[in-house]
Amino acid sequence: MSATLARAAGAPTHTTPRTWLALGIGWALLIAVPFWIPFVGGYTDLASRVLIYALAAMGLNLLLGFTGGLSFGHAAYFGLGCYGVGLMLKYETHSTLLALLAGTLLGGAAALLLGPVAVRRRGIYFSMITIAIGQMFYFIAVRWNNLTGGEDGLTGFRRHPLHFPGLTVPLGTTNFYYFVLVFFTLGCALLWGVLQSPLGHAFVAIRENHKRMRFLGIPVARYIALSFAISGLVVALAGSLNALLDNFTSPNDLDYTLSGNLLIIAVLGGMRSFWGPFVGAIIFVLVRDYVSSLITNWMTVIGLIFVLSVLFFPLGVLGFLRRRSAQ
């Protein structure tokens, strides 16, 4: 029963050898990124960015694709992660790991507290409330000048080498990529674990038919709030990593434009599949990086990606591939 449900929901089941093969090649490529990426005209920081956006979009997708909650405010938790890391490193600590933990928990705690407020409404009104709540943090960051640096953003912090007993690891570009990869893997493992558990199956069941779940005596709103919190936590982890990557953060990391970008990443790759947002992040980040280096009107190109993928490619890349292989 639960396996059927999971398959119907597009949860990862990995029964076919082909999926195993694709996953194996995928992870091998990820581990080898610093060695091959210069040869295809990329750079390692770009790969780190892809992983970070992928993690954020996958975290959002737990709520969006697997629970059916359309949040347009997840940039807030991303940005809270950024500011949490920045402020910790600037004022409190030299430990990169501690700052990462603080940023992640800050964003996760905010999602835990605000989820129950947002779930008081359903459907597009839920989306509207999540946007409004998210924008609140944007305005706080802009106005609380002396702490956050206002519109100019928060500067004056940088990631420090990792100190273990008897070992110091400098976080240069390559090492930092592996640092991101480790936390990307942890985040994926968390999301995967949730989706395989009874809790994850409840999320999917709510997406499919929330009324029926309510008739069964499941406190639907509480479950959606829980999905909101877990997804916010993962997005905050991604945000924290993003601040470490840039050694900088600004209100743009909190703005609803970022929420929109994370949503389109999920849709572009396929929001019904676990790895969909990862594929979406590769496409989105590469196109944005390339186009914004070529022309000034790159916003139009991003806008066109939104419009065209919604009109002609609603299943996303992985959804499209799955449907073709099913036929």
Partner 1 sequence: MGIVVLLDAFNGLIVGAFYGLMAIGLSLILGLNGVINFAHGTFMALAAYLAFTLMPVLGFWGALVVAPVLAAALGFLVERFLIRRLYRREPIYSLLLTFGLALIMQDLIRTIWGAQGQPITIPNLLDHPLSNTYFFLTGYRVFVVAAALLSTGALFAVLRYTRLGIRIRAGNADLETVATLGVNIYLLRAANFVLGIYFAGLAGILAAGQLGLTPTMGDTLIMPSFVAIVVGGVGSLLGSLLGGLLIGVASGVTTAFFPAASAVVIYVIMGVMLVIRPRGLLGQEGLLE
Neighbours of 38 (CB within 10 A): 10
Judge contact between 40 and 33, C-beta under 8 A.
Answer: no
In angstroms, rounded to a whole number, what is the distance separating the alpha carbons of residues 88 and 108? 16
Q: Residues of 244-280 as b/e, b for ≥16 C-beta within 10 angstroms?
A: bbbebbbbebbbbebbebbbbbbbbbbbbbbbbbbbb
In angstroms, rounded to a whole number, what is the distance separating the alpha carbons of residues 285 and 92? 32
Contacts of 124 (CB under 8 A, 6+ apart): 70
Q: Does 121 bind partner 1 (CB under 8 A)?
A: yes
Which residue do the tokens 């073709």 mark?
Answer: 324
Looking at the Cβ atoms of 122 and 158, the one nearer to partner 1 is 122
Among 72, 223, 275, 278, binds partner 1 (CB under 8 A): 72
Among 62, 75, 100, 131, binds partner 1 (CB under 8 A): 131
Looking at the Cβ atoms of 21 and 132, the one nearer to partner 1 is 132
Looking at the Cβ atoms of 35 and 125, the one nearer to partner 1 is 125
Q: Which of these ranges, 38-46, 78-86, 117-125, 236-244, lies near partner 1 under the rule CB under 8 A? A: 117-125
Q: Does 299 bind partner 1 (CB under 8 A)?
A: yes
Among 11, 54, 63, 64, binds partner 1 (CB under 8 A): 64
Q: Which of these ranges, 121-129, 156-164, 227-235, 277-285, lies near partner 1 under the rule CB under 8 A? A: 121-129
Looking at the Cβ atoms of 47 and 254, the one nearer to partner 1 is 254
Q: Does 178 bind partner 1 (CB under 8 A)?
A: no
Token pair of 313, please? 């490619």
CB 107, min distance to partner 1, A? 17
Looking at the Cβ atoms of 216 and 295, the one nearer to partner 1 is 295
Looking at the Cβ atoms of 149 and 179, the one nearer to partner 1 is 149
Q: Does 197 bind partner 1 (CB under 8 A)?
A: no
Angle between helices 220-246 and 96-118 (to 10 degrees): 150
In angstroms, rounded to a whole number, what is the distance separating the alpha carbons of residues 153 and 145? 9
DSSP conformation class of 163: E
Q: Per DSSP, what are the bridge partners of residue 163?
A: 168
Chain residues that interact with partner 1, rule: CB under 8 A? 64, 70, 72, 117, 120-125, 127-129, 131-133, 135-136, 139-140, 142-144, 256, 260, 263-264, 267, 297, 299-300, 302-307, 310-311, 314
